[in-house]
């Protein structure tokens, strides 16, 4: 399978499987079946609340001889409540224990937003609210402290590569002022309605690999009521036309638009047909015109913007 070489020398597969909103009851089987289908990269996070079950799926696949640990690329993320330097090692160890792993291939800071610590023994995952219901409480941890704690856990061997997510260019440039080495990966919302081309170009220049999330744009947000009534990219005329011309599904076209430009994708599906379809989306080429027609759909529309939702807005207001 095609891969991107990270600045740590590690190879990150171009296509992986996202684990957000995978119900705990299905997670072990979903991961196991995805490994059977050929997936090697899994994109998890403490916040997804399913890391133990995902770890069970991995453990079963290794035990059954489907795959070896070193053939897998497991990503996880540090949640916003754990940005203080003493919490970063505490959480990476907890998350590794949940996954039943000794190291992550990639560990990311989930959001550049630091909120008050919630003891995992009290509530895990803690989500955004300090009391589990309504009130977001910001915490005074500078991003530099969190990044340097990430470097320490990498040096201690808990993560082979470290990176960031949901970060814009200005913060990225600031990180470079104190980082020993540039983050290996930036994970961002990236789809034809939100191409973020200047940020993509900046990362290319800095040797930072990009992973796109929510590659199908509004589709992922329909079930959350956060799709802003946006027309589906999977049914868009431009996608449909290219799908017809290439003989590939609309989903494969949208994924290829990213991977052909060197951007990794981590689509989420629990359906066996879609899982296989998404994985087998790198064996064709889009023409320059087709790539441009898709990029031209950009309207700068972001669906995942937690700092813009009401409980946080009331704090920043
Ligand atoms: P996605 O773009 O992968 O879309 C998922 C939706 O598309 C689901 O409704 C699924 O049923 C549908 N779908 C999947 N394959 C399809 C196919 N072949 N044909 C038609 N429909 C299909 O959205 P996502 O889950 O938001 O993003 C992917 C992953 O990115 C997540 O699971 C998670 O791991 C990661 N993520 C990270 C962040 C972050 O803050 N870093 C935020 C969101 C998501």
* pLDDT, tens only, 177-187: 999 999 999 99
Six-digit token string for 251: 């989903």
Please check whether residue 238 lies inside any domain of the structure: yes
Rounded CA-CA distance 200/168 in Å is 10
Least confident of 58-72, 128-142, 211-225, 231-245: 128-142
**Residues contacting residue 151 through CB under 8 Å, at least 6 positions apart:** 162, 179, 180
Q: Is 165 in the pocket of ligand 1 (CB under 6 A)?
A: yes
Residue 103 near ligand 1, beta carbon < 6 Å: no
**pLDDT attached to residue 308:** 62
> How much is the average pLDDT of 257-269?
97
Residue range 118-157, pLDDT digits in tens: 999 999 999 887 665 666 788 899 999 999 999 999 999 9
In a domain, 266, yes or no: yes
Q: Give the count of domains, the chain.
A: 1
Q: Does the CB atom of residue 278 touch ligand 1 within 6 A?
A: yes
Task: Evaluate if residue 317 carries a pLDDT over 50.
Answer: no
252, pLDDT greater than 50: yes
Q: Are 16 and 265 in contact (CB under 8 A)?
A: yes
- 266 within ligand 1 shell (Cβ under 6 A): yes
Helix axes 288-295, 250-259, angle to 10 degrees: 100
Strand partners, 194: 191
Q: Which of 23, 220, 254, 281 to mutate to test the pocket of ligand 1 (most atoms within 8 A of CB)?
A: 220
Quote the domain boundaries for residue 262.
Answer: 3-311
3-5 and 11-13 beta bridge pairing: antiparallel
**Does the beta carbon of 259 sit less than 6 angstroms from any atom of ligand 1?**
no
Mean confidence (pLDDT) of the chain: 94
Residue 91: per-residue pLDDT: 98
Whether 99 and 51 have beta carbons less than 8 Å apart is answered as: yes
Q: Is 60 exceeded by the pLDDT of residue 309?
A: no
Question: Which are the contacts of 190, defined by CB distance < 8 A and separation ≥ 6?
Answer: 196, 200, 210, 212, 213, 214, 215, 258, 263
Instruction: Tell me if 174 is assigned to some domain.
Output: yes
pLDDT at 316: 41
Look at 195 and 128; give whichever has higher pLDDT.
Answer: 195
Domain harbouring 152, CATH code: 3.20.20.100
Q: Is 317 part of a structural domain of the chain? A: no
- Cα 303 to averaged position of ligand 1 atoms, centre (Å): 12
93 is a domain residue: yes
Q: Report the percentage of the chain scoring pLDDT > 90.
A: 89
Is residue 126 domain-resident? yes
Residue 314 has pLDDT above 70, yes or no: no
Closest residue to atom 4 of ligand 1, CA basis = 220
Position in ligand 1 atom list of the atom nearest CA 20: 32
Catalytic machinery residues: 48
User: Ligand 1 atom closest to Cα of 45?
Assistant: 34
Q: Is 70 exposed, middle or buried (0-12, 13-18, 19+ CB in 10 A)?
A: exposed
In a domain, 316, yes or no: no
**CB-CB contact of 57 with 106 (8 Å):** no
Cα–Cα distances in angstroms (integers) from residue 304 to residues 95, 209, 217, 224, in the given order: 24, 20, 10, 11
65 assigned to some structural domain: yes
Angle at 44 between CA 39 and CA 48, to 5 degrees: 135
Q: Give the pLDDT confidence of 87-111 residue by residue, as tens digits.
A: 999 999 999 999 999 999 999 999 9
Per-residue pLDDT of 46-67, as tens digits, reads 999 999 999 999 999 999 999 9
């Amino acid at each position: 399978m095609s891969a991107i070489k990270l600045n740590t020398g590690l190879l990150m597969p171009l296509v992986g499987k996202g684990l957000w909103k995978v119900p705990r009851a299905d997670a072990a089987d979903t991961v196991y079946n995805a490994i059977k289908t050929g997936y090697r990269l899994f994109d998890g996070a403490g916040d997804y609340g399913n890391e133990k079950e995902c770890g069970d799926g991995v453990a079963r696949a290794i035990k059954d001889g489907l795959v070896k640990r070193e053939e897998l690329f497991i990503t996880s993320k540090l949640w916003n409540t754990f940005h203080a330097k003493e919490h970063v090692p505490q959480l990476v160890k907890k998350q590794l224990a949940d996954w039943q792993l000794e190291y992550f291939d990639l560990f990311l800071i989930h959001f550049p937003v630091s909120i008050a610590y919630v003891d995992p023994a009290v509530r895990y995952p803690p989500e955004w609210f300090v009391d589990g219901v309504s009130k977001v409480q910001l915490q005074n941890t500078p991003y530099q402290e969190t990044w340097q704690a990430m470097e320490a856990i990498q040096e201690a061997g808990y993560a082979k590569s470290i990176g960031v997510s949901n970060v814009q260019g200005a913060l990225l440039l600031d990180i470079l002022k104190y980082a020993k080495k540039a983050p290996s990966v930036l994970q961002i919302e990236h789809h034809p309605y939100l191409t973020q081309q200047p940020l993509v170009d900046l990362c290319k220049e800095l040797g930072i690999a990009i992973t796109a999330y929510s590659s199908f744009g509004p589709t992922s947000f329909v079930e959350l009521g956060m799709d802003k009534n946006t027309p589906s990219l999977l049914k868009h005329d431009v996608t449909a036309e290219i799908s017809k011309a290439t003989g590939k599904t609309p989903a494969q076209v949208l994924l290829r638009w990213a991977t052909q430009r060197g951007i990794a994708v981590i689509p989420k599906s629990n359906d066996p047909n879609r899982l296989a379809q998404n994985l087998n989306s790198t064996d064709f080429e889009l023409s320059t015109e087709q790539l441009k027609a898709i990029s031209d759909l950009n309207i700068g529309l972001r669906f995942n913007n937690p700092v813009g939702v009401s409980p946080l807005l009331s704090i920043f207001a």
